[in-house]
Amino acid sequence: MLIRSRRVSEPKPSEITPEAIYHRRRDFMRAGLGIGAGMLLPPMAGARTALDFSPGAFGTDEKHTPYEDVTTYNNFYELGTGKADPARNADQLRTEPWSVRVDGACARPGNYALEDFLSPWALEERVYRLRCVEGWSMVIPWVGFELNKVLSQAEPTGSARYVAFETILDPDNLSGQRRPVLEWPYVEGLRLDEAMHPLTLLAVGLYGETLPNQNGAPLRLVVPWKYGFKSIKSIVRITFTEQEPPTAWNRAQPSEYGFYSNVNPDVAHPRWSQRTERRIGEFRRRPTLMFNGYADEVAQLYTGMDLKQHF
Amino acid sequence: MVGLLPAAWLAARTAGFLGGLGTNPIERLLIESGTIAMITLLSALGVTPLRRLTGLAAITRLRRMIGLLAFGYVTLHFLVWLGVDLFFDVSLILDDLTQRPYVMAGFAAWVILLLLASTSTDRAVRMLKRNWSRLHRLVYVAGVLAVIHVIWLTRADYREATIYALVLLVLLGSRLVWTVVQRRKVRGEPARNGVT
């Protein structure tokens, strides 16, 4: 196994209590004063801003995919369907001002300016494998925080079973949304326990800097054991639901893209081999691992489920 | 000679010139070789309609050459899939041929073109006599399979597939119109207004 996988630990109570947030925020700001105010400025549209973060709990020894490849080979249909389109059309995405709505089945819904949404949480780096359903993969050092922090703070009600996500809808600027390639806005969803899993990340950066627009600025999901399209970009809304929420690719082609879409070499796809993948930068295909190599961490989420049926 | 320019262009990019092949070079090579193959195949199917339209009999001499060129580019595309992408891994090849309908369609088109290319010599034309033109009508099937190949591999954006389908429709449709008009002429019926 190539991952340096430390056992998943439950978030400590101190990570979710308001007092601790308050104190850590103080530490964060004090540290920031020492390092230099520039490091702490809120992310700015288009600009590559360095982020302040600590090494995270999950890593991998595998070679990181070069920044250039990570930021010029993207699937982000809002900015065009070609792999190079999102980088080329990146300025169509307006990330300022940005707000995130948290609503649905929870006790503390809210509509936050991005700065307020992010400020309580310390950032950490997570080096994850990304496996695209199209049969290619990358290794990316993300910067972000665990989604479960935001979800816990919103206090989901007992009836909440799923979490739905929504990408910005802005056809006036996003040329891709003016064509009906997919139903807009892009939507995704996770089961609540998947969303609460410590591997599930809300990312605001990669390679130590704020996310480039083509990678889903200013805020995106990263679910490393699922195919890349589950990791929704440029999120404006997070909703707790009782029913399984619709997801963009499932809506477009339900026979090919299931709600779960866990990386699974045993579920064949009519377009691409899921048994193997090409790691960007490598010549030969390599075997695709169950749950993208994160089986030790996430397999227990699916005990008793037929994953060929719930693909 | 003009027909070899796409090959030279692709070779130059593979060697890293003209911007190279980008982040996923093998995927790019597959896509580009497929595009060239498709355009050449449609060009081969365009020779006869063009001759009928212009009345230039000399164009027919190009038909075999363009047809063989199409076979060459489809073969190149086939070999990139077989040898570069799948690296001759038999189990992966069988996976593709049994699980992916678009691969089946593309493979069938290549088999047809292989058959046609191997019966494209003057000797084969003489030996097969009338059957030769019957056999070579299979190129229409290859064209249809090639377009189906692209439609089935398309994930969501059908712009390119639509263009190929429309071109094929015009090229095959023109033959149908031509045949109908010829039959009328033979039967001595006057052509209707607008159809001459």
pLDDT digits over B85-143, tens only? 999 999 999 999 999 999 999 999 999 999 999 999 999 999 999 999 999 999 999 99
Residue A61: per-residue pLDDT: 87
Residue B144: per-residue pLDDT: 98
Residue A310 lies in a domain: no
Which of B14, B24, B149, B150 to mutate against chain A (most A CBs within 10 Å)? Answer: B24
Of B24, B86, B89, the CB nearest to A136: B24
Distance in angstroms (rounded) separating the CA atoms of residues B149 and B102:
5
Q: Does A84 touch chain B (CB under 8 A)?
A: yes
Residue B8 lies in a domain: yes
Residue B192 lies in a domain: no
- Write out pLDDT tens, residues A37-88: 444 444 444 568 999 999 988 888 899 999 999 999 999 999 999 999 999 9
Distances, alpha carbon B159 to alpha carbons A272, B41, B144, B156, in Å? 20, 19, 17, 9
Domain coverage including residue B110: 2-186
Residue B193 lies in a domain: no
Q: Which residues contact A133 (CB under 8 A, 6 or more apart)?
A: A227, A228, A229, A257, A261, A269, A272, A274
Mean pLDDT estimate for chain B: 93
Supply the CATH number for residue A96's domain.
3.90.420.10
Asked if B22's CB is within 8 angstroms of A73's CB, the reply is yes
Residue A46: per-residue pLDDT: 55
Spell out which residues of chain B touch residue A73, defining contact as CB-CB under 8 Å.
22-24
Residue B196 lies in a domain: no
Of A84, A273, A283, the CB nearest to B95: A273
Token pair belonging to A288? 């695709």
Q: Which of A185, A178, A176 is closest to A214 using CA atoms?
A: A176
Residue B59 has pLDDT above 90, yes or no: no
Collapsed DSSP state (helix, strand, coil) of residue A53:
coil
Token pair belonging to A296? 């030790």
Collapsed DSSP state (helix, strand, coil) of residue B151:
helix
Beta bridge partners of A187: A166
Residue B61: per-residue pLDDT: 86
Domain coverage including residue A201: 3-302
Q: For chain B, how many structural domains are there in total?
A: 1
Residue B186: per-residue pLDDT: 81
Of A136, A179, A271, the CB nearest to B102: A271
ipTM: 0.88
Residue spans of chain A under pLDDT 70: 1-47
Distance in angstroms (rounded) separating the CA atoms of residues A74 and A215:
7
Chain A residue with Cα closest to B101 = A270
Distance in angstroms (rounded) separating the CA atoms of residues A296 and A7:
9
Residue A59: per-residue pLDDT: 81
Asked if A283's CB is within 8 angstroms of B27's CB, the reply is no
Spell out which residues of chain B touch residue A227, defining contact as CB-CB under 8 Å.
none
Q: For chain A, how many structural domains are there in total?
A: 1
Q: Does A117 touch chain B (CB under 8 A)?
A: no
Spell out which chain B residues touch chain A, with contact meaning CB-CB distance below 8 angstroms: 22-24, 26-27, 85-87, 89, 92, 95-96, 99-102, 152-153, 155-157
Residue B90 lies in a domain: yes
Asked if A73's CB is within 8 angstroms of B24's CB, the reply is yes
Residue B191 lies in a domain: no
Number of H helices and number of E strands within chain A?
8, 15
Residue A311 lies in a domain: no
Distance in angstroms (rounded) separating the CA atoms of residues B94 and A135:
17
Residue A219: per-residue pLDDT: 98
Supply the CATH number for residue B108's domain.
1.20.120
Residue A307 lies in a domain: no
Residue A37 lies in a domain: yes
Residue A309 lies in a domain: no
Residue B63 lies in a domain: yes
Which of A81, A256, A282, A311 to mutate against chain B (most B CBs within 10 Å)? Answer: A81
Residue B9 lies in a domain: yes
DSSP A9-43: -PPPGGGTSHHHHHHHHHHHHHHHHHH-GGGGSPP
At A85, which helix (H) or strand (E)? helix A85-88
Collapsed DSSP state (helix, strand, coil) of residue A237:
strand
